[in-house]
Amino acid sequence: MNEFNEYFKSAFTVDNIIFGFDEGDLKVLLINRGEEPYKGKWALPGYFVYPNEDLDTAAKRVLEELTGLQNVYLEQVRTFGAVSRHPFGRVITVAYFSLIKISHYNIQPSSIAKKAKWHSVSQVEDLAFDHKEILGACFNRLKWLVRSRPVGFELLPPKFTLTELQHLYEAILETELDKRNFRKKILSMNLLIDLDETQEGVAHRPARLYKFDKEKYEKFLAEGFSFELKESKKKEKKPRKKVRANLA
Amino acid sequence: MNEFNEYFKSAFTVDNIIFGFDEGDLKVLLINRGEEPYKGKWALPGYFVYPNEDLDTAAKRVLEELTGLQNVYLEQVRTFGAVSRHPFGRVITVAYFSLIKISHYNIQPSSIAKKAKWHSVSQVEDLAFDHKEILGACFNRLKWLVRSRPVGFELLPPKFTLTELQHLYEAILETELDKRNFRKKILSMNLLIDLDETQEGVAHRPARLYKFDKEKYEKFLAEGFSFELKESKKKEKKPRKKVRANLA
């Protein structure tokens, strides 16, 4: 395998893009690097994958080592491999992403992370490496996700108002949504259970509370969001010549 | 950077999963390897990425070198990095996928590809490396895609019948779909233009022909398939106190 030696001089890393939601604001978890390159800079929590380690395992390990975050569901998003993205040599990085409820987790920086802190996504400026680009790509993926399937209900309290749900979508989509249209769409999906309760102890007129129908949601994801296609049930098939002729 | 040397001993490859559709059958393009490892085995068309080459560029180059395929739109799907997936050392591979119309392209094997041939996806058996697993993962992605957004109209002739469209979906989903339900769903999406023509020169009763409304389709993809959320238009906003009270 001598002719292949030139290929075996690369390294790869994992980078975790952890989006968090809290009180109407969409945030991303960043670390402040205590190691070169980019010492002192804010960066995504990421590091080299060990030679004998799977990618998914590495993503979890690195996240925990750098930020203390455990038991976070990480999903691979995309691999970034621009030739000069790392000053030490050719390093491609596999990006993993998650969307979590900030108040459920404790952040504890260690290893190469001097600090670990939530930053408002809209206010993130310069980052180490190509991390700004990676963050942007993952944010776009998240926007695409919420437009193509219901996402993020688990980020809300167990009982929530439609306004709270709308604020979550507005934070992700970075836009103000039309209230009536939003409610119509959301309710037509039949994913919410009207609790027949209203808010308590609020200064304004108490709003109606909903919870999320987890069973319907799982079914939804399994079958496809809206382009739900029924498999044919041969037994039930009856000749419908007339209808067929009209449609043909 | 001496402490990092141990990380810079890996390589990475790209693998292309090219799905093709022709006459009701879903196929995948495979090469027969003329080089070790797995010499003589069928495999996905893939190879090492040059040290000074971007991933997307490598995917295109490798596909063309091995199969002669040019100008194919490749989309990154996922990166596979099991520790022992390559006998020469640690090699992770970035998978790219495409869905093309077989009759539009000429296949010409060269480089490490002794042969290049379309295989029915359902009949693919043993493949080199972990390529069977990669193929499976990409096939699942394709199934998920067609269930969550309209896909693949471009694989049909410019004028097609609803039966032809249904066969495309059935080939991808590997299942028989209910005819009436399929037609109802497809037509309700308003993505088809009824040409007010019927088939010519067929032995059976000629079926109605449709074409695909490309403009509506692009709009669809941009706005989100079904969870289409309107942004609020402040100017048009009128107080709707009564409705709001009912919904709150």
- Work out the average pLDDT over A95-101: 93
Q: Which residues of A touch B148 (CB under 8 A)?
A: 148-149, 224-227
For residue A25, what are its two tokens?
């604001």
Q: Name the band, by pLDDT with cuts 50, 70 and 90, for residue B1.
A: low
| Residue B241 scores a pLDDT above 70 | no
The DSSP secondary structure of A26-83, one letter per residue, reads: EEEEEEEE-SSSSTT-EE-SEEEPPTT--HHHHHHHHHHHHH---S---EEEEEE--T
Helix (H) or strand (E) run with residue B51 in it: none
Measured between CA atoms, the residue of chain A closest to residue B244 is A180
What residues contact residue B172 under an 8 Å CB cut-off, 6+ apart?
A: B26, B142, B143, B146, B151, B152
Lowest mean pLDDT segment, chosen from A43-52, A158-167, A231-240, B6-15: A231-240
Q: Name the band, by pLDDT with cuts 50, 70 and 90, for residue B217.
A: confident
Q: Is B224 helix (H, G, I), strand (E, B) or coil?
A: coil
pLDDT at A246: 32
Distance between CA atoms of residues B20 and B121, nearest Å: 9
pLDDT at A225: 44
For A83, list phi and psi in degrees, rounded to 5. -55, -45
Distance of CA A217 to the CA centre of its chain: 17
pLDDT at B18: 97
| Residue B203 scores a pLDDT above 70 | yes
Measured between CA atoms, the residue of chain A closest to residue B169 is A229
Supply the mean pLDDT for chain A. 87
Q: Decide if B226 and A223 are in contact by the 8 Å CB cutoff.
A: no
pLDDT at A127: 98
State the distance between the two ends of chain B, measured CA to CA, in whole angstroms.
60
For residue A131, what are its two tokens?
């991390």
Q: Name the band, by pLDDT with cuts 50, 70 and 90, for residue A19.
A: very high
The ipTM estimated for the assembled molecules is: 0.84
pLDDT at B39: 97
Q: Which residues of A touch B169 (CB under 8 A)?
A: 229
What's the pTM? 0.85
Q: Name the band, by pLDDT with cuts 50, 70 and 90, for residue A81.
A: very high
Domains of chain A: 9-143 (3.90.79.10), 153-223 (1.10.10.10)
Assess whether the previous peptide bond of B37 is cis (omega < 30° from 0): yes
One-letter identity of residue A9: K
Give one word for A38, left, alpha or beta, with left for phi > 0 and alpha for psi -120 to 50: left
Lowest mean pLDDT segment, chosen from A90-104, A187-201, B89-103: A187-201
Q: Greater confidence, A139 or A224?
A: A139
Measured between CA atoms, the residue of chain A closest to residue B140 is A222
The predicted-structure confidence for B162-181, as pLDDT tens digits, reads as follows: 999 999 999 998 888 899 98
Tokens 């309290």 -> residue: A157
Distance between CA atoms of residues A206 and A203, nearest Å: 8
% of chain B residues with pLDDT over 70: 87
Lowest mean pLDDT segment, chosen from A129-138, B171-180, B216-225: B216-225
Helices A179-188 & A162-173 angle (0-180, nearest 10):
110
Please name which of B10, B102, B13, B109 lies closest in space to residue B53, comparing C-alpha atoms.
B13
What residues contact residue B39 under an 8 Å CB cut-off, 6+ apart?
A: B33
Q: Decide if A229 and B1 are in contact by the 8 Å CB cutoff.
A: no
Please name which of A28, A44, A64, A24 lies closest in space to residue A155, comparing C-alpha atoms.
A24
| Residue A245 scores a pLDDT above 60 | no
Q: Decide if A147 and B225 are in contact by the 8 Å CB cutoff.
A: yes
- Work out the average pLDDT over A53-59: 97
% of chain A residues with pLDDT over 90: 62
Q: Which residues of A touch B207 (CB under 8 A)?
A: 248
pLDDT at A241: 38
The answer to whether residues B68 and B10 touch, using CB atoms and an 8 Å cutoff, is no
- Work out the average pLDDT over A95-112: 94
Q: Partners of A113 in the beta sheet?
A: A33
The predicted-structure confidence for A227-241, as pLDDT tens digits, reads as follows: 445 566 544 434 433
Q: Decide if B182 and A230 are in contact by the 8 Å CB cutoff.
A: yes
Q: Which residues of B touch A165 (CB under 8 A)?
A: none
The answer to whether residues B45 and B113 touch, using CB atoms and an 8 Å cutoff, is yes
CA distance B34 to chain A (A): 15
What residues contact residue B51 under an 8 Å CB cut-off, 6+ apart?
A: A6, A7, A9, A10, A90
Measured between CA atoms, the residue of chain B closest to residue A235 is B178
Q: Which residues of A touch B175 (CB under 8 A)?
A: 231
pLDDT at B238: 42
